[in-house]
A and B are shown apart, each in its own frame.
Chain A
Amino acid sequence: MAMKLSIFVALIALLLPLLSTAFSPETPTDRRILVLLDDQSIKSSHSIFFKSLQSRGYDLDFRLADDPKITLQRYGQYLYDGLILFSPHAKRFGGSLDLAGVLEFVDSGRDLVIAANGAASDLVRDIATECGVDFDVDSAAMVIDHTSYAVSKTDGDHTLIASDEFIQSDVILGSEKIKAPVIFRGIAHSLNPVNSLVLKVLSASPSAYSANPEVKLSSPPSMTGSSISLVSVVQARNNARILISGSLDLFSDRLFGSGVQKAGSETIFEKSGNEQFVTELSKWVFHERGHLKAVSIQHHKVGEVVEPAMYRIKDDLEFSVEIYEWSGKSWEPYVSDDVQVQFYMMSPYVLKTLSTNQKGLYSTSFKVPDVYGVFQFKVEYHRLGYTGLSLSKQIPVRPFRHNEYERFITTAFPYYGGSFSMMAGFFVFTIVYLYNK
């Protein structure tokens, strides 16, 4: 019996790493991605984007949005690490997938790419709304810009716009600057002001507005200027990442390859910035970049190595933590000078910036405050584009023991004298009082 059990355990131990290769904390990059399409032609019209994903090692599973066999989970396990919704017109998904299913998928820490289009369905709008962005309610509206459109021979209504107003973040868009403007044809969305997690990655120029290009504008457009977001990203608190684009064409081969000349500018770019923009953004969304992990949080008294179970007030201690960044293939040391540690009980009593040795090790030393109670070492590190680090480690702090106080202090001698003289006085008084007749 014991023999059987040990074989079983060994088998499980062998199989477990195989079963959980994807999206483990050790390798945060996604592996298996479900792509939902409106029709199969998108697969070929957006082939450069899909090829680039496949060449980076992703396993893409293409399905039509109304495929009745779509399922994200089997036996309670997710089959995919990422979901690409290139199905702006899908009224409902096939199979068991629905709005709640998509949100649950994100809530489990997995990633999502949504691309909408003119006449996007309510389902896609609802998913976007849940993610913190609101598409223009007018389903015929497009983003129009009469000053920074992309010059084109065929397009006269200025719905093909060229934007170079990117978010200033190397971690989201890569360290290489995107030189050519990104061309965009699609619908506008605005960020929900209540949602602090959603970010504009590509915003429209101040002269853009959202309206139906077919009809004459009779009333002021509902969304105008820089409040229009063309592409937005969300990083949820569980580090799930979401990319929301108002344009499916943004990812298309046609716009990847097309040249671009921004209206009013002499420069003609051979190739638009779309490919670089989308590739870098997809690297970020699928956790090839900007994923931090913290390991081996250690603390000990100065001059010791063993981590104590408890500190005393006014102890000098050293704290260290190692932070690494996922580069897509391996964990590289993360170097920054703004990581801070808090020594926290209800509020931070100590807040120190950690110094780094450039190899991922962050350390500092400080004195335990003159307050006892149950404290926590806390590292709260949230930076634009990076996954958040929220570490805490509890540690009690005790007061001095009775015999740890300083004794026979010279300053206190008058007080000692005072109380001893009271004792002597009591003695003398007793004698005088009793023997006085």
Chain B
Amino acid sequence: MAKTTAKDAQDLFRALRSAYAATPTKLKIIDIYVVFAIFTALIQVVYMGIVGSFPFNSFLSGVLSCVGTAVLAVCLRIQVNKDNKEFKDLPPERAFADFVLCNVVLHLVIMNFIG
């Protein structure tokens, strides 16, 4: 029973990887970017767990800048994905411009809040 479960899991991962290989490079770049942001956020949360929440505003702005970046990147990914019929009328250039504008606003706020 356990053996078949491990095998199933392996099969699942393999299927996932082969399916992901077909993803366009642009989307893969976005995915790496998202993973990077989430990873940075996790490091900060762990750090906060160790040293305590003293400059809480700094902690919040540090983590929220990562989370915000990840969310914006995911939004960009949804909008530039050709498979998404919902956004087929939206040019990818427009989506990218939105992404840049939102990032600028986000980082301005973060800089104000980081103390």
Check if B29 sits within 8 Å of A433, measured CB to CB. Answer: yes
The minimal Cβ–Cβ distance linking A434 to chain B, given in whole angstroms, is: 8
Residue A216 CB within 8 A of the other chain: no
- CB contact between A411 and one of B55, B73, B96 (< 8 Å): that residue: B55
Residues on A with C-beta less than 8 A from B33 are 425, 429
Residues on B with C-beta less than 8 A from A405 are 115
Nearest residue in B to A419 (C-beta to C-beta)? B65
- CB contact between B114 and one of A406, A416, A432, A436 (< 8 Å): that residue: A416
A418–B47 Cα gap in the complex (Å)?
11
Chain A residues 405 to 437 lying within 8 A of chain B, measured CB to CB, are 405-407, 409, 411-412, 414-419, 421-423, 425-426, 429-430, 432-434, 436
The minimal Cβ–Cβ distance linking B64 to chain A, given in whole angstroms, is: 9
A45–B48 Cα gap in the complex (Å)?
88
The interface residues of chain B, by DSSP majority, are classed as helix
The minimal Cβ–Cβ distance linking B42 to chain A, given in whole angstroms, is: 10
Check if A416 sits within 8 Å of B58, measured CB to CB. Answer: yes
The minimal Cβ–Cβ distance linking B86 to chain A, given in whole angstroms, is: 21
A426–B69 Cα gap in the complex (Å)?
8
Residues on A with C-beta less than 8 A from B96 are 433-434
Check if B54 sits within 8 Å of A411, measured CB to CB. Answer: yes
A173–B115 Cα gap in the complex (Å)?
65
Residue B13 CB within 8 A of the other chain: no
Check if B47 sits within 8 Å of A419, measured CB to CB. Answer: no
Check if B44 sits within 8 Å of A414, measured CB to CB. Answer: yes
Nearest residue in B to A428 (C-beta to C-beta)? B33
The minimal Cβ–Cβ distance linking A82 to chain B, given in whole angstroms, is: 63
The minimal Cβ–Cβ distance linking A407 to chain B, given in whole angstroms, is: 6
Residues on B with C-beta less than 8 A from A411 are 51, 54-55
A282–B54 Cα gap in the complex (Å)?
63
Nearest residue in A to B36 (C-beta to C-beta)? A425
- CB contact between B69 and one of A409, A412, A415, A422 (< 8 Å): that residue: A422
Residues on B with C-beta less than 8 A from A414 are 43-44, 47, 62
- CB contact between B44 and one of A418, A423, A433, A436 (< 8 Å): that residue: A418
User: With A422-B65, A422-B69, A425-B69 as given contacts, are A415 and B29 in contact (CB-CB < 8 Å)?
Assistant: no
Residues on A with C-beta less than 8 A from B111 are 419
Check if A419 sits within 8 Å of B114, measured CB to CB. Answer: yes
Check if A418 sits within 8 Å of B103, measured CB to CB. Answer: no
User: With A415-B58, A418-B40, A421-B40 as given contacts, are A436 and B65 in contact (CB-CB < 8 Å)?
Assistant: no
Nearest residue in B to A418 (C-beta to C-beta)? B62
The minimal Cβ–Cβ distance linking A433 to chain B, given in whole angstroms, is: 6
Check if B100 sits within 8 Å of A430, measured CB to CB. Answer: yes
The minimal Cβ–Cβ distance linking B19 to chain A, given in whole angstroms, is: 21
B33, B43, B58, B59 pick with most chain A CB within 10 angstroms:
B58
Residues on B with C-beta less than 8 A from A415 are 44, 55, 58-59, 61-63, 114
Check if B29 sits within 8 Å of A429, measured CB to CB. Answer: yes
A415, A425, A429, A436 pick with most chain B CB within 10 angstroms:
A415
A434–B95 Cα gap in the complex (Å)?
13
A422–B43 Cα gap in the complex (Å)?
13
Chain B residues 77 to 112 lying within 8 A of chain A, measured CB to CB, are 96, 100, 103, 107, 110-111
The minimal Cβ–Cβ distance linking A412 to chain B, given in whole angstroms, is: 4
Interface string of B16-29 (1 = CB under 8 A from A): 00000000011001
A433–B47 Cα gap in the complex (Å)?
31
- CB contact between B29 and one of A416, A419, A426, A432 (< 8 Å): that residue: A432
A425–B43 Cα gap in the complex (Å)?
16
A371–B51 Cα gap in the complex (Å)?
25
Check if B115 sits within 8 Å of A412, measured CB to CB. Answer: yes
Nearest residue in B to A430 (C-beta to C-beta)? B100
A sample of 23 inter-chain contacts (CB < 8 A) reads: A405-B115, A407-B115, A409-B115, A411-B55, A412-B114, A412-B115, A415-B58, A415-B114, A418-B41, A418-B44, A418-B63, A419-B66, A422-B37, A422-B66, A423-B65, A423-B107, A425-B33, A425-B36, A425-B37, A426-B103, A432-B29, A434-B96, A436-B25
Could you list which residues of chain B lie within 8 angstroms of chain A, going by C-beta atoms?
25-26, 29-30, 33, 36-37, 40-41, 43-44, 47, 51, 54-55, 58-59, 61-63, 65-66, 69, 73, 96, 100, 103, 107, 110-111, 114-115
Could you list which residues of chain A lie within 8 angstroms of chain B, going by C-beta atoms?
405-407, 409, 411-412, 414-419, 421-423, 425-426, 429-430, 432-434, 436
Top 3 closest pairs, chain A to chain B, by CB: A415-B62, A412-B58, A418-B62
